[in-house]
Structure 1
Amino acid sequence: MSFSESNTFSAESMAHIARIINDINAGVWEYNTDTKQVKWSVGLYAALGYAPGEIECSYNYFFDHLLYYHDKPAFLKTTYHPRHGGSPVAHIRLLTKQNGYQWFENTTKRHETSDGPIIHGVLTNINALKMLEVELAESNFNLAETGRIAKLGSWEIDIATMGLKCSKEMMEIFELTEDVKMTMEDSISYFEPQYRLLLTNIVNDAIRYCKPYDVEVQFKTAKNNVIWVRCKGMPVLNDYGKCVKLRGIFQDIDSIKKKGINMQSSINLLDDQNKRLQNFAYIVSHNLRSHSGNLKFMVNLFEESRQEEDRAEIFSHIKTISESLSATMGHLDEIVKIQSEITRERKAVDFETMFNNVASALQTNITATNAHISTNFTDCRQIDYIPAYMESIFQNLLTNALKYKHPDREPVINITTQKTGTDVYLLFEDNGVGIDMARYGDQLFGMYKTFHRNSDSKGIGLFITRNQVEALGGNIQVESAVNVGTKFTIKLV
């Protein structure tokens, strides 16, 4: 007979069905709740690894010896399910003969008979499926933990709809909850303005030309925390070579990036200090060799001379050389102090107060030259700096501006501060004699380099100023023209 002809099976068909059930690692059980009588199919014994009769077929034996203790509440819930309703299902663990506890799916059905309420159940071995579920859950957990620890999320764009899907980990980087829905435009708006066009272009290139990308950009979270992130995208192609999806990762690399920036900054500082050390060694070698050579020559002349007049003249030269040597040692000591004072604590320095102190000390020079000095520190009034350095910078630049004034006009000196982002600049401009930058520009900050016939020129002030500024991570730029004036732009931090 055909199954479609009736919903009632023949006895022969039922026998075949029973044999099939017995062969598929599943079994049927029956329990009379009034008489406590239990029946197990041959398949149930086989699913547990036993032969019929090898173990006791009873409710107590099943409940006390085969059923895992932790799964007893779930089994009882299905056993004593209300008389009316669907067939309840429970996943339970049973002790098999050879393989220990294995997972089974238990489906029950209650109905009334003349012998009393009967519960029929089907137990199917689902251990392999359950193990796959456990492994998948562990894999998903490990993947989620890896993403959480690495601060790494994933995303996908469906090109047909341009719909964006984001992982939980990615939403955590955005500092948003999972239920927030974002479009591509929404996500790009979280990036810092200077990177938005870049992100838009590389996403479009990935879709149109199937070009993968990997960039590091700055990003502002929903809670306004600005961090560095890594964005990597990879096109998914169809059989025709067209991009149908765009998948990628999104990673918070803020701590790594900042460590790299700080490390590079330290490397640059070490490199700069090494160059200054080499320059210092050259200065020491050159200047001391010159002094010692001259001194030795004069001493030899003094020893060879017999005339008192000659000896007195030679001795005066020796004295001059000695004084020059002493001055050189003082200058070298100043340079050494710059390096040793780098680690001194920075303090809040008020530009106007510091300048007024320096101008007060140089008031005689200012009055003598009838200099007109204007200051404007409104853009940045204070800075964390080494006070002695700031005083030295003001003093050297102001002294130079007065010393190298133009002979045909009174000095006009403008001093201002400027702040651009986190960078602080000091601008110092005069209308003095100026410097031929094409000729002397590369020597301007050299030690003992002078470019004007001025008896007071020593060529040490700008050398010390540059070393002080660069020691704290800044730099100096100079614009100058002969007979027009000079402008120093000093990046302090």
Structure 2
Amino acid sequence: MSFSEDHKFSGESIAHFARIIDSIHLGIWEYNTDTRQVKWSSGFYTALGYAPGEIECSYNYFFEHLLYYHDKPAFLKATYHPRHGGSPVAHIRLLTKQHGYQWFESTTQKHDTNDGPVIYGVLANINTLKINEIKAAENEFRCAEIGRIAKIGSWEIETATMKLVLTQEVYDIFELSSQVKMTIEEAISFFEPQFRPVMTNAIEQAVKFCKPYELEVLFRTARNNVIWVRAKGVPVLDSYGRCTTIRGVFQDIDSIKKKGITLQSSINLLDDQNKRLQNFAYIVSHNLRSHAGNLKFMVNLFEESNLDGDRTEVFSHIKTISESLSSTVGHLDEIVKIQSEISNERKVVSFDTIFNNVASALRTNIVSTGAKIHTDFSACPQIDYIPAYMESIFQNLLTNSLKYKHPDREPVINCSTQKAGNEVYLLFEDNGVGIDMPRYGDQLFGMYKTFHRNSDSKGIGLFITRNQVEALGGSIQVDSTVNVGTKFTVRLV
């Protein structure tokens, strides 16, 4: 009988197929649901590691002694499946003779016979496959957990189509649903404007010249949260050295980055405070020692002098030294006061109000010099600041501009504010005599440093101004040209 003549096999053919199935360790079982009679093939015993007849061939033995209790519902569901849409499959654990419980795949079919409904099943050992599958799932879960904890995900770009594929962790950083599919351009649009060209160029360089990249950039999520992220890409090359794929990682490093920025800011602040402390120590040790030495010398001279005229002259010198010493102590007190006032509560201060108060106090100087003063605080009318500091900054800068006016022209002073992001700048510009920056630039903010021949120059105003600005986390920069003028750029916050 050929296969073309009929679709039924002879008994001899079926027996032959059964021997083949047994030899490849596939187990066949049969269960009559009416009579509860069970039949197992030789391969069934072999798959479990037993010889035929070594264990009881019964429904009860299989269900109570071989089948793992946790898998009973799955096996029953597959066995008594209504049979719509193919053969039901269940993955179950059976107790083998030598290796304990192992995974098997059970496929069942139902057939009606003269003796009643019969369920046929095939058992295949899938233990190795199942264990590998479980391990793979565990590894995938572990990697996903690591990615979730570390806030890191992976992505891939296929250069032929420039298709972008993101993992769930990357979508989490984007604060988007994984159902949203994005192009490269759409993904780049999430970066802050100043970093978009950087990201575009990095990807182009990776595609064209196989250059890897690693960038730390600002990123705005779908929920409008601005965070720092690390974007890293590595080209994958074909045999000809051409980039076929770019694979990379994307990580939320916002907390780490901000801690680093804060730490660096603290280091810079400590460095500045250390320099100020060294300067302060130098002033105390040098200036006070000088005053004390001079005073002691004059006192000795006074005691040794017998003539009234000489003693009167020496006493006048003692008085001058005493006044100078008092002035120095006063300046040192102002410096110490800067640090102690940092803890004072900041208040909302109006630039216009503070400046007008200072200008009113200096009205006589302004009128006598014929100074023209222009102010524009519209970019940032007010700020949270220590009022006394703001008044001191305005007073020192305005006094400086009036004091060092150019002899051949009337002073013109421009004062304004600017805002860049969260930073507020105070700009103060004049057309005075200017400062020789290459010569004196590094000494400009030193205590008792003067660069002009004015008799009333003390060299203390700018020193105090810089200390006040930096004490509140700001900075001050000077641009000046001799006989042209000076511009102070003060970053207040």
Provide the aligned length of Structure 1 versus Structure 2.
Answer: 493
Structure 1 residues 4 and 195, CA gap change in structure 2 (3 angstroms): farther
Deviation string, structure 1 residues 176-223 (Cα, Å, up to 9, x no partner) = 211222222222222222222222222222122222111212222222
Structure 1 residues 85 and 479, CA gap change in structure 2 (3 angstroms): closer
Structure 1 residues 6 and 443, CA gap change in structure 2 (3 angstroms): same
Are 1:391 and 2:388 an aligned pair?
A: no
Structure 1 residues 375 and 128, CA gap change in structure 2 (3 angstroms): same
1:26 Cα offset (Å):
2.8
**What is residue 40 of structure 2 aligned with on the other side?**
40
**What is residue 171 of structure 2 aligned with on the other side?**
171
Structure 1 residues 158 and 370, CA gap change in structure 2 (3 angstroms): closer
**What is residue 415 of structure 2 aligned with on the other side?**
415
Distance 2:205 2:449 in 1: 55
1:465 Cα offset (Å):
0.9
**What is residue 18 of structure 1 aligned with on the other side?**
18
Are 1:117 and 2:117 an aligned pair?
A: yes
What are the ranges of 5 or more consecutive residues in structure 1 without an aligned counterpart?
none
* Residue identity in the other structure for 1:248: G
SS at structure 2 position matched to 1:489: strand
Are 1:104 and 2:107 an aligned pair?
A: no
**What is residue 213 of structure 1 aligned with on the other side?**
213
Distance 2:224 2:298 in 1: 72
**What is residue 354 of structure 1 aligned with on the other side?**
354
Contact 1:38 1:57 in 2 (8 A): yes
Distance 1:244 1:405 in 2: 67
RMSD of aligned C-alpha atoms? 2.5
1:136 Cα offset (Å):
0.8
Distance 1:194 1:85 in 2: 57
SS at structure 2 position matched to 1:218: strand
**What is residue 444 of structure 2 aligned with on the other side?**
444
1:406 Cα offset (Å):
4.6
Distance 1:78 1:436 in 2: 93
* Residue identity in the other structure for 1:403: K
Deviation string, structure 1 residues 76-131 (Cα, Å, up to 9, x no partner) = 22222336763211112222233332221111111122211111111122121111
SS at structure 2 position matched to 1:450: coil
Deviation string, structure 1 residues 376-410 (Cα, Å, up to 9, x no partner) = 21111111222221111112122233334455655
**What is residue 68 of structure 1 aligned with on the other side?**
68
Contact 1:29 1:41 in 2 (8 A): yes
Deviation string, structure 1 residues 349-375 (Cα, Å, up to 9, x no partner) = 211122222233334444554544332
* Residue identity in the other structure for 1:327: S
Contact 1:477 1:490 in 2 (8 A): yes
Are 1:185 and 2:171 an aligned pair?
A: no
Distance 2:213 2:485 in 1: 50
Return 294-303 or 104-113, whichever deviates more. 294-303
Distance 1:200 1:339 in 2: 47
**What is residue 52 of structure 2 aligned with on the other side?**
52
SS at structure 2 position matched to 1:139: helix
SS at structure 1 position matched to 2:348: strand
* Residue identity in the other structure for 2:239: D
Distance 1:35 1:299 in 2: 130
Return 20-29 or 233-242, whichever deviates more. 20-29
SS at structure 2 position matched to 1:179: coil
1:5 Cα offset (Å):
8.0
1:287 Cα offset (Å):
0.8
Structure 1 residues 121 and 201, CA gap change in structure 2 (3 angstroms): same
* Residue identity in the other structure for 1:417: T
The normalised TM-score by structure 2 is: 0.92
Structure 1 residues 436 and 135, CA gap change in structure 2 (3 angstroms): closer
SS at structure 2 position matched to 1:64: helix
Distance 2:20 2:341 in 1: 91
Percent identical pairs in the alignment equals 76
**What is residue 242 of structure 1 aligned with on the other side?**
242
SS at structure 1 position matched to 2:108: strand
Distance 1:73 1:421 in 2: 63
Structure 1 residues 270 and 6, CA gap change in structure 2 (3 angstroms): farther
Structure 1 residues 237 and 4, CA gap change in structure 2 (3 angstroms): farther
* Residue identity in the other structure for 2:82: P
**What is residue 81 of structure 1 aligned with on the other side?**
81
Structure 1 segment 425-436 matched on structure 2, within 5 A: 425-436=425-436
Distance 2:104 2:77 in 1: 16
* Residue identity in the other structure for 1:239: S
1:436 Cα offset (Å):
4.3
1:13 Cα offset (Å):
4.3
Structure 1 segment 85-164 matched on structure 2, within 5 A: 86-164=86-164
Are 1:323 and 2:323 an aligned pair?
A: yes
**What is residue 380 of structure 1 aligned with on the other side?**
380
Distance 1:261 1:64 in 2: 65
Distance 2:246 2:431 in 1: 61
What are the ranges of 5 or more consecutive residues in structure 2 without an aligned counterpart?
none
Return 427-436 or 258-267, whichever deviates more. 427-436
Contact 1:83 1:111 in 2 (8 A): no
Distance 1:453 1:239 in 2: 76
**What is residue 228 of structure 1 aligned with on the other side?**
228
Distance 1:211 1:3 in 2: 62
